[in-house]
Amino acid sequence: MKEVNTTVQSFKESIFATMSALAAKNEAINLGQGFPDFDGPLWIRDLARNSFDGKNQYAPAMGVRPLRSSISNYYKSFYGLDFDIDSQITVTNGATEAIFSTCLALINPGDEVIVLEPFYDSYLAAIKLAGGIPVPVTLKAPEFSFDLKELEKAFGPKTKMIFFNSPHNPTGKVFSKEEMQSISRLVIKHDTYLVSDEVYEFLTFDGLKHLPIATLEGMRDRVITISSGGKTFGLTGWKIGWITASEKLSHAIRMVHQFNTFSVCTPLQYAVAEALSKLDSYVPEFVKQYGELRDFFIEGIVEKGFKPIKSEGTYFVLVPTPNGITDIDYCSELIKTKKVASIPLSPFYSKSNEGENYIRFCFAKKKETLAKALMNLS
């Protein structure tokens, strides 16, 4: 029989699924895959329950209007960015579908797409399936910044776009305005697009504020900004994501989205619409809750002798592997001997082997889960 798609043949199961399955098999505490082990707020789940009456048929492909309206309102009030409700905001099945639809909508076979590694795994798959050629640029540990000359060299006549993610999974880094300005200058100089994955936009700590790269001069119409209610409301299984972009780019993305999933779960869109209208009171509580979990876990692992990299945002923290042990071996040792699951970093890289030197813990877990994990890690 004939083979399946050759690009797909090169794909492996996502490291998040693999590690969650290993955690279950070994009865280990799962600090691997990024999801809270508690439900998002009851008031948001109640909103969903209430919208299960009368809101059960297909939503418009672009998303229900109240949700697009709430998205437009928060971009305006938090960041001063104006996006037209009808032509510049699209609701997707999580950020994952947003990434995928964006790649299929923008990339022609042979186009080059710059990815800063370590990168979230779906970027590479989406680029390759669209026929694009990923051009990796390695962020330098332990600050995880880029070498500007190296980044500049990665841009060329075939560059279509660059992926950018801040707050950054897996490092927990929040990129500075200066770093974003350097990237923006290159994007403008080379007339390319930038996909900005901002799913952790509300998870920044120590008083740091998220700055969407679309706010920088000359970037508004070059940036495709992607976010997700899954992270912001601790409801990763809801898969309600969204894209803000210029009318031209939004139109192209919608043309893919309509033939990919067509539309997104209707009642949950209404619940997220309402939840987003309450961000002013919700976000400070949310940051406080996750910030306390971060401090508790990081102080705990420091006491156990680990030397974590500073986590400025997201719900992840990196820990270097002991000398001579690679990330994969270290993760499997921790699962088997300490009953704690984490994520090795090498699957987030395609060029450098720097990932062998780190593992990632997720601290979006109940305090008692983190306390148990800390006891095991003794």
Q: Which residues bind ligand GLN (CB under 6 A)?
A: 14, 16, 33-34, 169
**From the CB of 239, what's the least distance to ligand PMP, in Å?**
6
HSE-CB of 181 using CA atoms within 13 angstroms: 4
228 binds, among ligand GLN, ligand PMP, none (CB under 5 to 8 A by kind): ligand PMP
Determine which helix (DSSP H) or strand (DSSP E) holds 152, and give its type and residue range.
helix 148-154
**Min CB(248)–ligand GLN separation in Å:** 29
Applying CB under 6 A, which part among 93-101, 181-189, 247-255, 266-274 lies near ligand PMP?
Answer: 93-101
Q: Which residues contact 270 (CB under 8 A, 6 or more apart)?
A: 47, 48, 51, 55, 64, 66, 67
Q: Residue 197 or 354: which CB sits closer to ligand GLN?
A: 197
Question: For ligand GLN, which is the closer residue by CB, 102 or 184?
Answer: 102
Backbone angles phi, psi at 30, to 5 degrees: -90, 95
User: What character string, x for contact with ligand PMP (CB under 6 A) and - otherwise, covers 179-208?
Assistant: ------------------x-x---------
* Residue 16 or 78 with smaller CB distance to ligand GLN: 16
Q: Is 32 in the site for ligand PMP (CB under 6 A)?
A: no
Q: Which residue has the tokens 């950054």?
A: 168
Angle between helices 122-129 and 94-106 (to 10 degrees): 30
Helices (H) and strands (E) in the chain, counts: 14, 12
Which distant-in-sequence residues (6+ apart) come within 8 Å of 113 by Cβ? 103, 107, 127, 132, 133, 134, 135, 159, 160, 161, 162, 163
Distances (CA, A) of 256 to 101, 104, 105, 225: 6, 7, 6, 16
Footprint (CB under 6 A) of ligand PMP, residues 280-339: none
14, interface contact from ligand GLN, ligand PMP, none, CB < 5-8 Å by kind: ligand GLN
Q: Which does 309 bind (CB under 5 to 8 A by kind): ligand PMP, ligand GLN, none?
A: none
CB of 95 to ligand GLN, least distance (A): 8
Q: Which is nearer to ligand PMP, 94 or 344 (CB)?
A: 94
**Could you say which DSSP state residue 145 is in?**
B
Q: With CB cut-offs between 5 and 8 Å by kind, which of ligand GLN, ligand PMP, none does residue 132 bind?
A: none
Q: How far apart are CA 297 and CA 293, in angstroms?
A: 6
Judged by the rule CB under 6 A, the positions of this chain that interact with ligand PMP are 34, 94-96, 120, 165, 169, 197, 199, 228, 230, 236, 239, 241
